[in-house]
Copies of this chain bind each other. A is one copy, B any other.
Amino acid sequence: MPPPSRHNGPVPRSNERSPDRSTTAGADFLQLDPREAPAGGLADWLARRLRQAIADGRLPAGSRLPATRLLAADLRVSRGVVTDAYRRLAEEGRIAGRGRGGTVVVDPFPRPSAPQPPAVPAPTRVPASAAASPPGSPFDGPLVPAGFDTLRNAPARIDLSPGAPDLAAFPRTAWLRAERAVLHDLAARDFGYGDPRGTPALRRAVADWLGRNRGIRADPEDVLVVAGAAQALALAGEVLRTVGLDVVAAEDPGSLGTRQHLGHRITATPPVPVDAEGIRVDALRATGARAVLLTPAHQFPTGVVLAGARRRELLRWAAEGGLVIEDDYDAEHRYDRPPVPALRGVLPEQVLYLGSVSKLLAPALRTGWMLAPARYRDLLVDAKRLSDLGNPALPQLVLARLMDSGALERHLRLLRPRHRRRRDAMTAAVAAHLPGAVVHGAAAGLHLTVTFPDGPGRTDTELAAAALARGVKVQPLSWHARLPHPPGLVLGYAAVAPGEIEEGVAVLGRLLREAGRPLPG
């Protein structure tokens, strides 16, 4: 390599023109450069360029053209040139004035301008034998991460998918008020690049929240704000693979989505059975894994709370060097039992804790947090920095205000009786329409699980596909289980009105009866 030259280095003098303002005419709009135009033919040239852009799709129907005054100024031409070009296209039927809406491109063959809502299948009675999954059904093929998108996009009248709180209760007014205060108070530099760990205000608010509500003493410096539990698991997987912890055991049954997010970065997620006391720590030891992914406060999907003796056994395993990834996903939602403090509060150096606002406020906020053992902290911050440089600032600051002002606690107090009524509607509907089913995990959370000890007359995946064909969305327990298990369904109720819960479960009941298998009761 040649020695660095100080006098003749390769940093170029750029090929830019001298800053003579006469050379700067040109519009960002269609990258128009009037120097291309033949002498005296400016309006011709402009009309031709506009026609091209309409024809090749750069200006689709509905696009707004710039005001003639502004475009003329950009191009350094007289306004008459632009109005002349626009007039010609208007006469050709390609554009039209829309009053205050400006001048817009017109579609010569009008089609509905908004995308059509997907057709909802009529709730016809499908024979059980015809209930196979339609093409592109979420219940066909292997369980890939896109399966959740396919299910979400499938049309349905009633959506009993688990995972969301009552979204109609989202505190829109409080959010907007907090956003106004944030925008008012923000310094200009806060709109720049920020700390990849999150804004100081939210990290402090989260530390306080975890101290008050989850039994966790956290230094705000140690809080890492992330894009929901999904990103927390992706970052954890990346870091654990880096340090050689690339086998992480997972509860079974256990959340498929969670396992996908962690699992795609590591080598294996061996299943560990869950019983009525929670995860079987003896079976965890038998896997040889040095880390485990857990939902101790309300196991997904069974709803089991990790029992005292099992909790002590697990903490012993962790104290001997095991790492617990504690997914505290809906700990704040409980109806019939006292609150359960987080494991992180007991053994912080052996617990990688993650939480989010997806179940407190809304999944669409994509906001969560992690608290890691000190030895993983810098690696996680590096992983977050290299993923996206940190969460967006405005929603973080709005959320910090809602946490600091007590508005989030008030929201929880509002949600709890609403969710409880929906839970009650769900358990009543299950008792009425699914007489042979056993209900699991109804004391807390946003969903419950039903199993069919006598069988639903088909696999639970077939049952879910048949329900979808009748407009009711549910998840089969099979999605979340790898070990042998009875057929079952995971039924979300928190985001659904009681009447729809009743109607959706009634559809499930009819499907079971049609399967020709009389159920007890």
Q: Which residues of B contact A299 (CB under 8 A)?
A: 14
B394 contacts A28, C-beta separation under 8 Å = no
A16 sits at the interface (CB 8 A): yes
A10 contacts B484, C-beta separation under 8 Å = yes
User: How far apart are A492's CB and chain B's nearest CB, in angstroms?
Assistant: 10
A39 sits at the interface (CB 8 A): no
Contact among B11, B28, B163 for A213, CB-based, below 8 A: B28
A349 sits at the interface (CB 8 A): no
A19 contacts B486, C-beta separation under 8 Å = no
B394 contacts A365, C-beta separation under 8 Å = yes
Contact among B66, B366, B444 for A389, CB-based, below 8 A: B366
Measured in the bound complex, the distance between the Cα atoms of B152 and A189 in whole Å is 11
B216 contacts A58, C-beta separation under 8 Å = yes
Q: Which residues of B contact A163 (CB under 8 A)?
A: 192-193
A274 contacts B12, C-beta separation under 8 Å = yes
Q: Which residues of B contact A188 (CB under 8 A)?
A: 167-168, 170, 495
Each complex incorporates copies of this chain amounting to 2
Q: Which of A386-404 contact B (CB under 8 A)?
A: 386-395
Top-3 shortest CB links A-B: A26-B338, A9-B486, A16-B443
Residue from the set A196, A361, A388 with the largest chain B CB neighbour count within 10 Å:
A388
A21 sits at the interface (CB 8 A): yes
Measured in the bound complex, the distance between the Cα atoms of B162 and A154 in whole Å is 46
User: How far apart are A449's CB and chain B's nearest CB, in angstroms?
Assistant: 7
Residue of B nearest to A487 (CB): B6
Measured in the bound complex, the distance between the Cα atoms of B60 and A404 in whole Å is 13
Residue of B nearest to A444 (CB): B16
User: How far apart are A30's CB and chain B's nearest CB, in angstroms?
Assistant: 7
